Every structure is written in C-alpha cells, then in structure tokens.
Amino acid sequence: MTYTANDQSTFKVQASELDTSRLIRGAWLCPHPTKATWTSYEDAILVFDEQGIISELIEAKDWSKRFPSMSLPNISNPQGVWLPGFIDTHVHYPQTAIIGSASGPLLDWLETSVFPEEAKFSQSKYASYVASRFCDQLLQNGTTCAAVFSSSHVQATQILFSEFARRGLNGELGLTLMDRGAPDDVLCPSDLALAGCEELIETWHGHDQGRLNFCITPRFGLSCTPKLLKGAGELSQKYQLMMQTHISENRAELVATAEAFPEAKDYLAVYEDLGLLHERSLFAHGIWLSDDEWARIANAKAAIAHCPDSNFFLGSGQMSLAKIKANQVKMGLGSDVGAGRSFSMRKACARAYDASRISDSPTSPEELLWYATRGGALALNKPKLGLIAPDAYADVICVEPPPSFSMDAERYSVSQRANQRASQQTSPLSERSLEDLIAQLIFCEDWQGMLEVRTRGQSRWQKA
Ligand code: GUN
Ligand code: FE
C-alpha cells in the first residue's frame, strides 16, 4: 500500500461522491506502510467511504483543483493532530481492576494478585462490568485495536466480544487456556476449554469483516498441559487463527518451564513442538530468548509484543530491540495491563524509549510511535490497520499536543491557542518539527490531550 495523497493517477473520488460527513480535515501524521518513519501533512482532508474505508488523503492546497465547485471543509479539531488509532498487542482484560498490585516478580504476582482476581470472572455480572470499563479505557486512550487475553471463562469472553463489537473496535480476543499450575477456580480441563474455543470461534471469529477475531490463547507453558497446547495448536491451524502467549519473561519462570517440559530443547520449543509457532504467532515479552530462538521466531515470521512498562513493574528485564531489528522480527507494543500500569500506548512508547536507552538499541520516539500503530498492525497480520492510505480503515484518533513552550507564553496562552488556530487556520505542525511533535506526544505524560477517537470513520469517543 502506498501513499497517494499527491498521486494524480490513483485519485478515486468524484465530486458527486463526496459527503461532508465522510471528510476529516486537519493536520495528519501518516506512518510508512513498512518502515518505522512518518510523513506529515499540515492541512489535509481524509476522505472515507460508507464502510469507513479510506479513499484518499487530499492536501488542502490541492482541494480547489480537485473539486472546483466545493469549498474546503471546516477543520475538525483545529488544535489537534490526527493519526491512526493505537494498537495494543498485549493486554489482559480481567486484570483491569488490579493495575498497580505490587506483589513481587512474575510468579508471585500471578499467585497473589492475578489468579484470585481472574477467578471472579466466573460471574457474568462482574465480567460485564469490567469488560465495559476495559473497553472504555481502550477508547479513551486512543486504542482502536487490541490483542486481548480474557479469563479462562467462556461466558466472560463472550461478554468481552460483545463489548468490542458494540464499539466497532478491532481485536484478536482469546479465552485464556489453563489446565494446570494455578488454583482450581481459574483452571478449565482441556476438552472443555477447547470446546469453549470452538463455541467462541463459531460465534465471533471473522465478525465485522474480520475486524474481530478469536485468537488461540494459551496463558503460557506453565499453566498448560502438553495435551492442551497440542489441541490449541491444532485449532490454530484448523481455523488459521492468531495465537498469543507469553514467552521468556522471567528467570524463575524459565527454570520452572524447563522442569515442566523436560523434552523441549528451549522455551520456544515448548510451543514449536506442539504446533504453536507460525506466522500468526504473537509472543509477549521475549526477554531472555537465545540467538537460536530469535532466529526461529524470525524464520517462522512470528511476532513479538514488547511490553516495557510491565517489564519494569515486575522487574523482569529488558527485551532486546537490537534482536528485533537484526532479525527483522515483527513487533508491536503492549500495555500488558495489569502488569503494565497504563492503557496508554503513548506511555508504552515512553517506557519503550527508556528501556531502549538502558539496553542495547536506543530507539527514537518516531520509531516507537510507528510500532504503536503500523508495527502493531503488521504484528497482528492486519494490513488494513495503522495506515492513513487508500483501502485502510479510517480508524483514526485526534490528539492535541501539549503547549509549545518555545512560543511566546504571553501571547499564546493555552486557552487562546485553539481560537487562534481556528481563525488563522494554522496547524499544530506549523509550530514545531515532526520530531518535536512526536516526542511531546509521548513524553509529556501529564498532558492527556485526547480529543476524538473514530473507528470506521465513526466517532466513538470525544472529549467532553
Ligand atoms: N505470564 C503468564 N501469565 C501472565 C500474565 O498474566 N501477565 C504477565 N505479564 N505474564 C504472564
Ligand atoms: Fe501478559
């Protein structure tokens, strides 16, 4: 998919097809389809069709040439900048209520904080309450697509799907598979769990033209018997499903996994040997992978969900961005709520930046914002997401950047800025460089600035 904003040969829209409700004029940040870079437009009009699919992005300066009889549309949110919705490639819905539960490293935290909470999702009322709040949190933070671990309960997972569907969100959602290594009230025997998967596949897989899918979700090796993993691998092949799990996150987990799977030559082999390593695999963390495991992940075209805030919170270690880049492994960013402390993918970018500075591959804010959008789409095999280009979904968000402190504070008080921009029709991009803008969007963490969130071009959340 290429940009066509200035390419006369690919113009598709005729004046007669224009509907003012399907135009968004503003400043735009457009991720490159395959490289971690951005193009910006100070003033351009996004045109999308009845399905919420982008037809084109037309620069304002070219508007009158294209549509001589139509005046330029008004700017939507003059103080903001538009970009694709965020993609959270790893998040746990039944951990929404235990964010910040500081009960130690991974295995202690699971036992103390996570399993007792996830057991509550056997109650549909509780699941409904949390699912609704979880989806609201995603939307408020500009996340329009997520790969989500549910609890081990089929009904709680049905509820999550319904909440996603109601909001037009994209998702890869999975029943968390666990049949050992945890309290009974979060376990489900393999036959029942796999039947539950079939039921959820039947009801939801491919919903909304494939925007909502069922994802095979074994929690990790330690909570699954080989029988369950094998069944999961078979289902992922039978229905060509995405598969998500955790890998190589914590030292104690590595030792316990090696003991639990004596036949496996390393952690990746636990999954690989049972049909769970393929181009639709998404592994969270991947902190302690060997060079050989990295090579096999790359070879399989599997992806990594990088969860830096969780890695800090649980003291797990740092995932190697150098290995991602050297092996050209697909990668998205994950909030990993509730080990991650925020639903904000902007904060995930900031934590990924910090992690990159203290490990082996300093990475720029622009690259990280790309991973939080287009990179995530590629990691989830969703080519129509994370792009501002023809054929992509108009799943877009508008964020107001923080005040530019280099500006004359007397003349441009925060309260005047919006009016000033509206009257002068300047854009947030005319005040600063693209690099500065992106850095401010991810590092000024006290500044929320989310103005609007749309899926398929439809407004789903707006600042009150
Ligand atoms: N490994 C197995 N389960 C989990 C979980 O819920 N969160 C994290 N961060 N790691 C896990
Ligand atoms: Fe996780």
The closest alpha carbon to 361, from 309, 394, 316, 322, belongs to: 322
| CATH class assigned to 86-379 | alpha beta
Report residue 74 as tokens.
Answer: 């008004």
The verdict on the CB of residue 90 being under 6 Å from ligand 1 is no
Residue 1: the pLDDT is 39
Task: Among the bound ligands, name the one nearest to the CA of residue 147.
Answer: 2
- Cα(49) to centroid(ligand 2), Å: 36
* Arithmetic mean of pLDDT, 138-158: 98
- The mean pLDDT of the chain is 94
Nearest CA to ligand 1 atom 3: 219
Is residue 422 predicted with pLDDT exceeding 70?
no
Q: Quote the CA–CA distance of 154 and 145 in Å, as a whole number.
A: 21
Report residue 31 as tokens.
Answer: 């991720």
Q: How confident is the model at residue 430 (pLDDT cuts 50, 70, 90)?
A: confident
Q: How confident is the model at residue 408 (pLDDT cuts 50, 70, 90)?
A: very low
Residue 5: the pLDDT is 40
Q: How confident is the model at residue 93 (pLDDT cuts 50, 70, 90)?
A: very high
Q: Where are the alpha helices (DSSP H) in 21-123?
A: 60-66, 106-109, 115-119
Residue 4: the pLDDT is 43
The closest alpha carbon to 66, from 75, 80, 50, 55, belongs to: 55
Is residue 411 predicted with pLDDT exceeding 70?
no
The verdict on the CB of residue 306 being under 6 Å from ligand 1 is no
Nearest CA to ligand 1 atom 5: 110
Q: Quote the CA–CA distance of 263 and 249 in Å, as a whole number.
A: 20
Contact between 199 and 240 (Cβ < 8 Å): no
| φ, ψ (nearest 5 deg) of residue 59 | -65, 140
- Sheet strand arrangement including 170-174: 86-92, 143-149, 170-174, 212-214
- Cα(1) to centroid(ligand 1), Å: 35
Is residue 306 predicted with pLDDT exceeding 60?
yes
Kind of pairing, strands 450-455 and 396-399?
antiparallel
Is residue 441 predicted with pLDDT exceeding 60?
yes
Q: Quote the CA–CA distance of 196 and 155 in Å, as a whole number.
A: 9
Q: Quote the CA–CA distance of 363 and 201 in Å, as a whole number.
A: 38
Q: Which sign does the torsion angle of CA 205, 281, 179, 110 carry?
A: negative
* Arithmetic mean of pLDDT, 434-454: 96
Kind of pairing, strands 143-149 and 81-84?
unpaired
Nearest CA to ligand 1 atom 11: 246
| φ, ψ (nearest 5 deg) of residue 459 | -70, 125
Q: Quote the CA–CA distance of 333 and 329 in Å, as a whole number.
A: 13
| φ, ψ (nearest 5 deg) of residue 393 | -70, 140
* Arithmetic mean of pLDDT, 384-399: 98
**Residue 99 burial (CB count, 10 A):** 17
Q: How confident is the model at residue 427 (pLDDT cuts 50, 70, 90)?
A: confident
* Arithmetic mean of pLDDT, 46-52: 97
Task: Among the bound ligands, name the one nearest to the CA of residue 244.
Answer: 2
CATH architecture of the domain 8-84+388-462 equals Roll (2.30)
Q: Where are the alpha helices (DSSP H) in 273-413?
A: 291-300, 308-313, 321-327, 345-358, 365-370, 376-379
Which ligand 1 atom sits closest to the C-alpha of 220? 2
The verdict on the CB of residue 316 being under 6 Å from ligand 1 is no
- Range scoring the smallest mean pLDDT among 7-11, 186-190, 387-391: 7-11
Of the chain, the percentage scoring pLDDT greater than 90 comes to 88
Contact between 25 and 19 (Cβ < 8 Å): no
Q: How confident is the model at residue 9 (pLDDT cuts 50, 70, 90)?
A: very low
Single-letter amino acid code for the residue at 281: S
Contact between 307 and 269 (Cβ < 8 Å): no
Of the chain, the percentage scoring pLDDT greater than 70 comes to 93
Q: How confident is the model at residue 3 (pLDDT cuts 50, 70, 90)?
A: very low
- Cα(209) to centroid(ligand 2), Å: 27
Contact between 366 and 36 (Cβ < 8 Å): yes
Q: How confident is the model at residue 418 (pLDDT cuts 50, 70, 90)?
A: low
Is residue 319 predicted with pLDDT exceeding 50?
yes
* Residue boundaries of the structural domains of the chain: 8-84+388-462, 86-379
Side-chain half-sphere CA neighbours of 385 within 13 A: 31
Is residue 309 predicted with pLDDT exceeding 80?
yes
213-270 pLDDT, tens digit per residue, is 999 999 999 999 999 999 999 999 999 999 999 999 999 999 999 999 999 999 999 9
Contact between 86 and 143 (Cβ < 8 Å): yes
Q: How confident is the model at residue 403 (pLDDT cuts 50, 70, 90)?
A: confident
Residue 225: the pLDDT is 98
The verdict on the CB of residue 13 being under 6 Å from ligand 1 is no
Q: Quote the CA–CA distance of 394 and 49 in Å, as a whole number.
A: 9
**Residue 300 burial (CB count, 10 A):** 16
The verdict on the CB of residue 341 being under 6 Å from ligand 1 is no
Q: Quote the CA–CA distance of 87 and 369 in Å, as a whole number.
A: 10
Task: Among the bound ligands, name the one nearest to the CA of residue 282.
Answer: 2
Is residue 381 predicted with pLDDT exceeding 90?
yes
Q: Burial level of 14, CB count in 10 A (0-12/13-18/19+)?
A: exposed
The closest alpha carbon to 427, from 40, 157, 93, belongs to: 40
Q: How confident is the model at residue 410 (pLDDT cuts 50, 70, 90)?
A: very low
Q: How confident is the model at residue 11 (pLDDT cuts 50, 70, 90)?
A: low
* Arithmetic mean of pLDDT, 156-170: 98
C-alpha pair distances (Å), 152 with each of 121, 149, 222, 224, 244: 8, 9, 15, 12, 14
Residue 431: the pLDDT is 77
Q: Which residues lie at CB < 5 A from ion ligand 2?
A: 336
Task: Among the bound ligands, name the one nearest to the CA of residue 336.
Answer: 2
The verdict on the CB of residue 336 being under 6 Å from ligand 1 is yes
Is residue 423 predicted with pLDDT exceeding 70?
no
- Structure-token match 């909001």, residue found: 167
Q: Which sign does the torsion angle of CA 455, 205, 228, 272 carry?
A: negative
- Structure-token match 């991720």, residue found: 31
